[in-house]
Amino acid sequence: MRLTDISIRALKSPEKGAVIHYDDTLPGFGVRISEGGTKSFILTHGPRRTRETIGRVTIIGLGEARTAAKVILAQYTLGKSQTVSKPWDKALDEYLERVRQKNRPSTYKSYHRHLKKHFRFGKTHMDKIPPHDLQKALDRLQDRKAELHHAFVYLRAFIRWAYRKHYLDKNPIERMEAPAGSKSKDRILTDKELVKVWAAAPNDPFGRIVKLLILCGQRPGETSRIDPKTMVKDDLITLPDWLTKNKLEHRFPFPEMALPYLHQLSYGGFSKAKARLDAACGVRNWTLHDLRRTLRSNWARLGISREVAEKYINHISGTHSGMDRIYNRYDYLPEMRAAVAKYQAYLQTELKIS
């Protein structure tokens, strides 16, 4: 069939699996429709019938998709020996769509924010952007080490992808030295530091997230997306599988003193808010994730079993991994409630946190 905007809109999804409708005017080019109704432009080419996803129908138009397919076919015909450069913004949108399809929403959001915010080269073709301009964009972040580290990592991943796609004939950042990342991943806060962070946490969504991290030790990206209306009931928080790192639903009890902070948690300006908190509390060289590690260490100090602690923070690479995770379906809720109560008493009586 000849693909047109009208014919594509009229295509129906199959009852099971997926179906591809190929375009009569361009060999291998077509639209794939899943049973859920998702429509994506694809190209099948080469003796091995390699299939590449060009993009979702809702993201790019038919004309753009057909042009992209012709570029891919040209690259293949030429043995991919010639570079077919793309404007920065179009290549970035293509890359971010790939990231969105392969990663959790929070990961995609982080890639999108860093790459769109810090590297604004618009319609300039990728092969026309000198390494010096990329370095200048990174240099603007020198006073924010964590932001700089993440920006460089995401930029490097994007550039490597563009190089493999032959949008570049050489890697413009291959000689750049990677900035120092966050501090060592064995950092835990002392009792005094924890008290300072708690006291300085502002009365806003970011401050509430910080206090919940201290009280519950979950992952920052998951904590910031807790929806009190749908995920909180009685003394339990239930994180859906689409939100958790391991793609497993996670249900855990929270201490009573966490209840005042379970509202209006959505927040996106972590970097600047964290810098303000550092200045207010006087604690240096720590990350939000260190609060998770601090809770886990404090629980060990309080004599809470590793099995219960690992279950509470939803860490499946330890005692709840492999065959044990398959056969041990016990939820440990009584043990976790006892641990939460013990930790709350420790915070209130030993650290005077309330």
pLDDT in tens, 243-252: 998 888 999 9
Last residue within a domain, chosen from 77, 104, 129: 77
pLDDT at 179: 83
CB–CB of 183/286 below 8 Å?
yes
**134 and 245 housed in the same domain:** no
Percent of the chain residues topping a pLDDT of 70: 93
274 domain-assigned: yes
244 in Cβ contact with 225 (< 8 Å): no
CB 23 within 8 A of CB 2: yes
Give me the mean pLDDT over the 94-113 stretch.
89
Q: Output 176-179 pairs: Cβ under 8 A, ≥24 positions apart.
A: 176/131, 176/134, 176/135, 176/138, 176/152, 178/152, 178/153, 179/138, 179/145, 179/148, 179/149, 179/152
- Judged against a pLDDT cut of 50, whether residue 81 lies above it is answered with no
End residue of a domain, out of 25, 47, 77: 77
Three-class HEC string of 144-199: CHHHHHHHHHHHHHHHHHHHHCCCCCCCCCCCCCCCCCCCCCCCCCCHHHHHHHHH
> Is 174 a domain residue?
no
Q: What is the CATH number of the domain that holds 313?
A: 1.10.443.10
Structure tokens at 66: 């057909």
Q: Is residue 82 part of a domain?
A: no
pLDDT for the residue numbered 160? 92
Q: Considering the domain boundaries, does residue 256 fall inside one?
A: yes
Phi, psi at 45, each rounded to 5°: -155, 165
- Indicate whether 253 belongs to any domain: yes
| Helical packing angle, 205-216 and 289-301, nearest 10° | 30
Q: How confident is the model at residue 325 (pLDDT cuts 50, 70, 90)?
A: low
343 and 272 assigned to the same domain: yes
Mean pLDDT of 38-60: 87
The secondary structure of residue 125, as a DSSP letter, is B
What gap in Å lies between CA 46 and CA 75, rounded to an integer? 11
d(CA 312, CA 297): 13
pLDDT, tens digit, 9 for 90 and up, residues 134-182: 999 999 998 888 889 889 999 999 999 998 888 888 889 888 888 875 4
Q: Which helix (H) or strand (E) holds 230?
A: helix 228-231
Looking at the structure, do residues 315 and 207 belong to the same domain, yes or no? yes
Position 319 pLDDT exceeds 60: no
pLDDT at position 77 over 90: no
Spatial strand order of the sheet with 39-45 comes to 18-22, 29-34, 39-45, 50-56
Across residues 44-55, what is the average pLDDT?
83
117 lies in a domain?
yes
pLDDT tens per residue across span 231-240 = 999 999 999 9
Angle at 291 between CA 236 and CA 281, to 5 degrees: 120
- Residue-number span of the structural domain to which 237 is assigned: 191-350
Which of 52, 77, 102 marks a domain boundary? 77
- Confidence band (pLDDT; 50, 70, 90) for 320? low
